[in-house]
Amino acid sequence: MSDTLSRISASNPWLDAASSKIVAVVAPILDHDKPAALRDLLYGTWLGHPLHPMLTDVSIGGWTMSMIFDLLGEEKASDIALELGTLSAAGTALSGAAQWFDLQEMEEPKRLGALHALMNTAALGFYIAAIGLRRGDNRAAGIATAWAGHALSTSSAYIGGHLSFALGIGVDREAFTEPATDWTDAIAESELTEGELTRTEVNGAAVMLLKQGTYIYATSAVCPHVGGPLDEGELNGTCVTCPWHFSEFDLTSGQVVHGPATTPVTTYETRVSDGSIQVRAASA
């Protein structure tokens, strides 16, 4: 099935136009010149991982419980669950758009994300119609319409799973990197220029160093969002902004200042020994 989705992406270039239209709709909220606080809320920067997966549980959970209550003949409970899932869909959609917004240069995520959004929008239309039918005492049609919406949203959820777990969207790109835990030579002290971000490799991990006065900062050189090179980013004091999608990190702690990244970068302790800068992973 994963290969099928890849083929769907490759054979449907019209999804590029759909993607552009969706971007235009959400750009007033998600463009990088818009207020960072709202974008960070939707990214899940404050949560430590993307917000979208958690909200999908509310929406799909509500719709699924509505189906179960339908089968049990619990009409009031079914209607409440249906309306809860539908009301939560706005936040779910916006958080999903935030997670996808910066991936427009990546063909498969861009196209499948657009398809995911289109299917969810169609499903939401069914759910809203189902609520209207139920309130209008046309319960049988309301149940059938809601179940049609559930078929669409479940199929779309499969695409969402592919985006997350097959394509790694929302996954920390450094999750499986094992930083050096013992003092390890990183670079000669003479190769480090004051105030300049410098990239090196330590035990197979990309490490970025910054010398400011007598202190040397060291973090992972890889942005956890989609792997951007932090050493090519913009430095502002002790904060660096990724050149790809503008995630900002504080080098003193590794913490995310602004998304779309939601997980911190690995930080290292540093010392100078016999003219060599040595690093080891900072203790938690």
Statement to judge: residues 162 and 191 lie in one domain = no
* d(C-alpha 141, C-alpha 117), whole Å: 25
Residue 172 resides in a domain: no
70 shares its domain with 124? yes
Q: Is residue 114 part of a domain?
A: yes
Domain match, 249 and 153 both: no
Q: Which residue's structure tokens are 């900002």?
A: 248
Q: Which of 105, 138, 166 is the last residue of a domain?
A: 166
Specify whether 15 is located in the same domain as 145: yes
Residues 149-207 have pLDDT tens digits of 999 999 999 999 999 999 999 999 998 988 989 999 999 998 988 999 999 999 989 99
pLDDT at 20: 95
70 and 160 part of one domain: yes
Do both 150 and 210 map to the same domain? no
Task: Calculate ∠ Cα 30-36-39, nearest 5°.
Answer: 45
**What is the total count of domains within the chain?**
2
Same domain, 128 and 231: no
Average pLDDT (64-89) is 95
Q: Are residues 150 and 246 in the same domain?
A: no
**Residue 146 shares a structural domain with residue 28:** yes
pLDDT digits (tens, 9 = 90+) for 210-230: 999 889 999 999 999 999 999
Average pLDDT of the chain to the nearest whole number: 93
The answer to whether residue 176 is domain-embedded is: no
Question: Does 86 reside within a domain?
Answer: yes
The answer to whether residue 82 sits within a structural domain is: yes
Q: Is 40 part of a structural domain of the chain?
A: yes
Indicate if 142 and 42 belong to the same structural domain.
yes
pLDDT of 284 > 90? The answer is no
Other C-beta atoms lying within 10 Å of the C-beta of residue 233: 22
Look at residue 283 in the predicted model and tell me its pLDDT.
Answer: 78
DSSP state, residue 202: E
| Structural domain includes residue 105 | yes
Looking at this protein, which amino acid is placed at residue 198?
T
Domain span at residue 194 reads 184-281
CATH number at residue 196: 2.102.10.10
Residues 6+ apart with CB under 8 A from 87: none
- Residue 177 inside a domain? The answer is no
Q: 81 with 194, same domain?
A: no
pTM for this predicted structure: 0.88
